[in-house]
Amino acid sequence: MWVALASTIASPTWAHDGQSVTVVPKFDQVLPNILGKSLRVVEVAYTPGAAFPPHTHARSASIYAYVLSGDIDSKENDSETRIFKEGESWYELPGAVHSISRNASKTKPAKLLAVFVADSGKTKLTIPAQWDTRNSNNE
Residue 119 belongs to domain with CATH number: 2.60.120.10
Higher pLDDT, 82 or 12: 82
Would residue 139 count as lying in a domain? no
d(CA 125, CA 116): 9
| Containing structural domain, residue 69 | 3-129
pLDDT band at 18 (very low <50, low <70, confident <90, very high): low
Would residue 138 count as lying in a domain? no
Model pTM score: 0.80
For residue 138, the model assigns a pLDDT of 41
Would residue 9 count as lying in a domain? yes
d(CA 10, CA 5): 10
Would residue 82 count as lying in a domain? yes
For residue 5, the model assigns a pLDDT of 28
pLDDT tens-digit readout, 78-128: 899 999 999 999 999 888 899 999 999 999 999 999 999 999 987 777 888
Is residue 47's pLDDT more than 60?
Answer: yes
Would residue 117 count as lying in a domain? yes
Beta bridge partners of 110: 46
d(CA 66, CA 33): 24
Would residue 115 count as lying in a domain? yes
